[in-house]
Structure 1
Amino acid sequence: MTPRLLVLDTATETLHIGLCRGEQSWVRALPGGALASASLLPALMALLAEAGLGLRELDAIGCGRGPGAFTGVRAACAVTQGLAFGADRPVLMLDTLMAVAEDAHRQGAADELWVAVDARMGEAYAARYRRTAAGWAVLEAPALHAPAALAARIAGEMSPAQVAGNSLNAHAQAWSGLRAAGWPDSAPRATALLTLARAAWARGEQVDAAGALPLYVRDQVAQTTAERTAQRAAQAAGSGVPS
């Protein structure tokens, strides 16, 4: 039976959502960034209404877990958890960079490629993938890279290089010396997310809603109240000042 899946990714500046039922699919690309947390839930509800489906009629909800924008990834996972808990549905945690690889492959990229997306602060989130008969295999897991160093490394390992993702534009100077076939406009679009979600469903990778957790590859840029309290206590203990 073909699953009925809802997918979402807010790890980039664009909010990508999609829904499939049988051979039919509905996809949307909407403004993301600071607007994502306010517009995500209404957009998902509108997509379900258009397809004539309720949340409890879904088989699973697929969530782009990152890496990507800190607030965006957190928003996607929080909304996914809330919907999945409320509807008693499982979730499928999807690799955002793998979705970029899938999107690039649809544009003509080779079966093996690097994905590099802008991580701000002059850095890129990057990973290496190979497409196989069973789906995408992770050759190098998502990690944080200096674009120039990554470009130099890829130049020594792959010729011509196959690179996808907006880092090619965001860090154009770093990539300028690399002889590469590039897909800078590839993104975690809903069609790619649905492809990954269907494959994950077929492999039985559903997890409980509690498993809808972000993938962070950069040191935390925000601390919880408990973490700040613990840090102050540790600093006070080290300096001899009462907390």
Structure 2
Amino acid sequence: MPELLAFDCSTDTLSVAVQHGDRVIARTQAGGAQASAALIPLIHELLAEAGLTLGALQAIVFGRGPGAFTGLRTACAVAQGLGYGADIPVLPIDTLQAVAEEARHATGAAQVLAVLDARMDEVYAAACDTAAGHCEAPRLMAPEQVQVPPGFLLAGNAVAAYGERLPADAPRHACLPTATALLRLAPAMLAAGRAVPAAEAQPLYVRDKVAQTTAEREAIKSAAGATQA
């Protein structure tokens, strides 16, 4: 088995894991705004417990998105920095594929519709064939717009966040994209040549108006101030 470091910061839970041979060491803790300060110390802690150095790793695996904007930037920046400094490749993996893998591991489901809470009253969704290791491109939609194909398991943290607004007739499994799911996905992806140089790692933003929304809010505030003046 390859020596790997994996982490996901795409939700309010920070998940980190190290694989050393057949041994996997994993930790989860509060993420969100705390992820940027907590991630690197937790990585060093797990590497030390595994008896590994960064230079001994074959790759750094990270959840590239979709998910929380700040968390995705944190994960990508840390993967880039560590990978560049240790001269090792990085492997970006879609968070919805990690959700589907976590659901498969827990339930045995071969077909999963992964749904993550996107905030702003929306969800990220992607249909995944876990046997083939393939997921469709993630989409952003209202919970009421989610359609679960026959025979698919509905899985992710949106199950709890929007339970009554999602299709009621589909089987469900609440779960998150975890670092251990990333580790299970990584060997096949590495063998397929999916790793990239650290400098080429990029987060996956499905909501393309995140930065613009901030600017729009500032514009609205400015306009309101001008009106009051």
Shared fold per TM-score greater than 0.5:
yes
Mapping of 1:104-183 within 5 angstroms?
104-132=103-131, 135-138=132-135, 140-150=136-146, 153-154=147-148, 157-158=149-150, 161-175=152-166, 177-183=167-173
Q: For 2:152 and 2:104, locate their aligned partners in 1 and report how far apart those are by CA, in whole Å.
A: 14
Percent identity of equivalent pairs: 48
Q: For 2:40 and 2:152, locate their aligned partners in 1 and report how far apart those are by CA, in whole Å.
A: 39
Mapping of 1:9-88 within 5 angstroms?
9-88=8-87
2:193 paired residue number: 204
Aligned with 1:107: secondary structure?
helix
Provide runs of 4+ in structure 1 moved above 6 Å.
none
Q: Say what the alpha-carbon RMSD is for the aligned residues.
A: 1.7
2:210 paired residue number: 221
* Structure 1 gap segments, 5+ residues each: 233-243
Alignment partner of 1:195 is 2:194: no
Aligned with 2:133: secondary structure?
strand
Q: For 2:209 and 2:49, locate their aligned partners in 1 and report how far apart those are by CA, in whole Å.
A: 38
Q: For 1:178 and 1:172, locate their aligned partners in 2 and report how far apart those are by CA, in whole Å.
A: 8
| Native 8 Å contact 1:92 1:206 kept in 2 | yes
After TM superposition, the structure 1 stretch with the greater mean CA deviation from structure 2, 100-109 or 4-13, is 100-109
1:146 counterpart letter in structure 2: A
Q: Note the alpha carbon deviations across 1:119-158, whole angstroms, 9 max, x for none.
A: 00100011000022xx4112x21110111111xx32xx42
1:187 counterpart letter in structure 2: L
| Native 8 Å contact 1:161 1:179 kept in 2 | no
Q: For 1:172 and 1:182, locate their aligned partners in 2 and report how far apart those are by CA, in whole Å.
A: 9
Q: Max radius of gyration: which structure?
A: 1
Aligned with 1:12: secondary structure?
coil
Q: For 1:42 and 1:25, locate their aligned partners in 2 and report how far apart those are by CA, in whole Å.
A: 18
2:102 counterpart letter in structure 1: D
| Native 8 Å contact 1:147 1:171 kept in 2 | yes
Q: For 1:53 and 1:161, locate their aligned partners in 2 and report how far apart those are by CA, in whole Å.
A: 39
Q: For 2:156 and 2:129, locate their aligned partners in 1 and report how far apart those are by CA, in whole Å.
A: 16
| Native 8 Å contact 1:112 1:128 kept in 2 | yes
Number of aligned residue pairs: 215
